[in-house]
Chains A and B, each alone.
Chain A
Amino acid sequence: MEVLAEGKGFFRMPDPDGHREWIRKKSRQMKSKLMTEKEAIEKFVSDGDYLGYDLMLHKRGPTALYREIIRQKKKDLWLACRFSGVDPGLLIGGGCVSRMDIGWFIQSGTASKAIEQGKVKCTEWTNSAIVYRELAGAMGLPFLPMRYVGGSDVFSHSGAKLAKDPYTGKPIVLVPAINLDVALIHVHQCDEFGNARIFGPGLSPIETASCAKKLIISTEEIISNEDIRRNPGLTTIPYYMVDAVVHLPFGSYPGAMPGMYGADPDHTMELMMADRMGWDAYLKKWVFDVADHADLLEKVVGAKKLLDVTKMETVREGYHA
C-alpha cells in the first residue's frame, strides 16, 4: 500500500501476535475474581502501563480505582485520554502519568500545565480516533482505515498515515491499533467471575475491555451467575476478559453513576479547585488519609451525602434488569 503522508506523533507499535500470546496465557476458568481494590491495583497495574478507562471521572468513571492507583504511587502511566474530565488532572496531580494520547480533557488545569511545562508528553488524536484504535486492537488487527483525522494538524501530530486505498485508489487515513496494558471499567452489576452489565450509553466499554491485556472491573453491585444466565442479552463484558472484580458501591463517586446517583457538586468543586490550585490538601483528605474506598465513604463522605446524591438522580427506566 502506497503511503502518501504520515504523522510524526509517537505511538506504541501494534503487535497483534504478541497480544494474542498474552491472551493465550489468561485463565478461562470460571473462578471467583473478587478482591479488594488494593489487591487489584497491586496485582494488575504496573509502573509504565498503557492505561485506558471507560467513560470519565464525572460519569461512571473508575474513580475509586484511580484513588487506589494514586495511593499506591504508581508511576509513568501512559493514558489513553479521550472524552475525559479531570481524570488526567487527578492522575497527573497524583504523580502517576508521563504520557497521554489526547482526544479531549477538561482544559486549563493540571493537565494543561503539565503539557505546557513539558512534564507530560502527548500525541494528538480525537475522542473517536482513540476508541477506534482500541477497536482495531480489540479486533486483533494492526490498524484500521477511517474517514476522519485527515487534513487537520491532528493528522500531522498523530501516528496516523494517509495511504492509497488498494481497492478504490482513493486516499484513506490509517490509524494504528491500541492494545492497552490495563483497562479500568466501572459497571452497574457483575458476578464474581466478571460477567458484567452496564446500563446507559457506553462510550467504549467493549472496545476498551477487549483490547486490554489486563482488565479490572469495579462494580456497584455483585449479582449471581444465575442472574446473568436469566438475562444473557444484558451481559456487556464476558468473564474471560476480566482479571479482577472489585465490589465498590459508589465507586464512581464524586462522579455520577447513571440511573443510581448523581455527581456530588461540592466535591466536584473541590476537585476543580485542586486541578487549578494544587493537589496536596485534596489528595491528603480524599486519598492518603483514608485506608480504602469504604473508609472514605464512612469517614469523609458520610451517609447523608450518599443519600443526597442518590436522591438527585435515581432513574428506574432502562437502568435495572
Chain B
Amino acid sequence: MSNTINFTQTEAMLCTVSNLITEDKAYWIAIGGLPLMAMMLARRTHAPEAFYVVEDGTVSPQPPAYVPFITGASGLSAYRAIAWKDMNTMGFHCAVGYYDMGILDCLQVDMYGNINSTFLGGTYEQPKRRFGGPGGANEILSMCWGTIILAELDKRNYPKRVEFISSPGYLDGTPNAREKAGLPANTGPTYVVADSAIFGFDEKTHRMKVISIAPWITLDEVRASVDFELLVPPQIEVMKPPSEEQLTIVRADIDPTGRAIGAGKWIEYTPKE
C-alpha cells in the first residue's frame, strides 16, 4: 500500500508554521488568513493552550475553528477571549515586551526580511498597483521580540530589495540599523516560512539563510526560487512534512470550504520507508 500524501503549497506552509508554535510564547497574529489558521491548527494538535492576541484588541479568544466569511469581520472571532481591549493597548503591551512572536503573511519579503504591502511599480504618489498598506504588520515586525513571516516560494515574492518597506526587517542589514531608526533593541524577523523551506537570518550580516528544506525539493531548486543569493550554512535540517492528522484537521475543521488552503500547486510526497 502506498503511503503517498498530497497537499497544496498553502497547506504545507500552514502546517509548517503551526509546528513552530509553542505554548511558552505569546503570539501577535495577523487578524485573518493563514497566520490565524496556523494558530487554530497548533491549538488542535500539539499546543492547545497557545496564547495569541490580534490587533483589534482581542486577547486569546477561543473562537470556533471555522469562522465563516471574513475572519476579522465576525463577532465570533472574539468569542470567549480572556479580555477585550483595543488596538493601542495591544501596541502598549508589545512595546513593553510582552509579545514574543508575531506571525504575518506578506506579498514580498526581501533578503533582509523587509516586507512590502504598499505598492508595485510607479511611484508612491502614483503607483501602478496599490495594495492595502502596512496594516498592523509594521508594529508587529517593529516591536515583537521575533516574527514569523509567511511567503510562498516564488521569485516574485522574494526580491533582493522590496520596492517599498511597509514593515521593517533588518532594513539595509547594517549593524544596529533598527535601533538607529528608533525601534526596540534585539528585535526583528526570526523565520520566513515558505511551502518547501524555512529560512532564518544570519546573526552578523542579517541576510536570509536556509534553516531547513522539505524532503520533496532540492537545495538548488530552493536557490532558484528566490531573486538573491541565499546563505547556506554547512548544516541544513529536513523540514517536517505535513502529517495526515494535520491535513485532516485543516480540511475538515479549519477551512472546510477550501477557500484558503486550495491555493497554490499540489505537492505529492512519498516518505521513504
A residues at B contact (CB < 8 Å):
55-56, 58-59, 82-83, 85, 102-108, 111-113, 115-116, 118, 121, 124-129, 131-132, 135, 146-155, 157, 162, 170-173, 199-207, 255-260, 262-263, 265, 268, 313, 315, 317-319
Contacts and interface: CB of A to CB of B under 8 A. Distances in A.
Interface string B161-199: 000111110010000011111111000000000000000
Contacts of B128: 116
Contacts of A106: 132
Contacts of A107: 130-132
Contacts of A116: 122, 126-130
A216 B90 CA distance: 26
Nearest to B140: A148
B69 A268 contact: yes
Contacts of B84: 199-202, 318
Contacts of A265: 68-69
Given A104-B134, A263-B73, A115 B139 contact: no
Contact of A147 (B58, B114, B143, B177): B143
A152 B138 contact: yes
Contacts of A150: 142, 168, 178, 181-183
A200 B164 CA distance: 35
A65 B171 CA distance: 42
11 contacts: A58-B73, A105-B133, A112-B129, A116-B127, A147-B182, A150-B178, A150-B183, A152-B171, A171-B182, A207-B88, A262-B69
Given A107-B132, A147-B95, A149-B138, A205 B86 contact: yes
B55 A127 contact: yes
A200 B75 contact: yes
Contacts of A126: 133-139, 167
Contacts of B165: 151-154
Most buried by A among B72, B88, B114, B182: B182
B75 A148 contact: no
A83 to B, nearest CB: 7
Given A127-B87, A129-B139, A206-B86, 17 more contacts: A82-B87, A103-B135, A105-B132, A107-B130, A116-B126, A116-B127, A128-B87, A131-B86, A148-B91, A150-B181, A162-B181, A171-B180, A171-B181, A202-B85, A255-B73, A262-B74, A315-B79
A132 B88 contact: yes
A83 B56 contact: yes
Contact of B183 (A102, A147, A199, A202): A147
Interface string B82-100: 0011111011000100000
A58 B183 CA distance: 33
A257 B73 CA distance: 9
B131 A112 contact: yes
B142 A147 contact: yes
Contact of B58 (A82, A132, A201): A201
Residue with the greatest number of chain A CB neighbours at <10 A, chosen from B114, B118, B130: B130
A149 B138 CA distance: 6
Given A153-B118, A162-B181, A171-B180, A203 B57 contact: yes
B258 to A, nearest CB: 17
A102 to B, nearest CB: 4
Contacts of A56: 73
Contact of A151 (B76, B125, B143, B177): B177
Given A147-B142, A148-B143, A206-B86, A313 B73 contact: no
Given A102-B133, A107-B132, A112-B129, A131 B87 contact: yes
Contacts of B125: 118, 121
B136 A262 contact: no
Given A200-B75, A205-B86, A206-B86, A127 B132 contact: no
Among A58, A121, A127, the most chain B Cβ lie within 10 Å of the Cβ of A127
Contact of B74 (A59, A260, A318): A59
B182 A263 contact: no
Contact of B130 (A115, A257, A317): A115
B42 to A, nearest CB: 22
B197 to A, nearest CB: 26
A107 B79 CA distance: 27
A148 B56 CA distance: 17
A59 B131 contact: no
Contacts of B127: 115-116
B138 A154 contact: yes
A197 to B, nearest CB: 12
A100 to B, nearest CB: 9
B80 interface: yes
Contacts of B216: none
A265 B73 CA distance: 11
Contact of A152 (B56, B58, B143, B167): B167
A260 B76 CA distance: 11
A202 B75 CA distance: 12
Chain A to chain B: the 8 pairs with minimum beta-carbon distance, closest first: A151-B181, A258-B75, A58-B73, A104-B135, A148-B142, A150-B182, A150-B181, A107-B132
Contacts of B87: 82-83, 127-128, 131, 202-204
Contacts of B135: 83, 103-104, 126-127
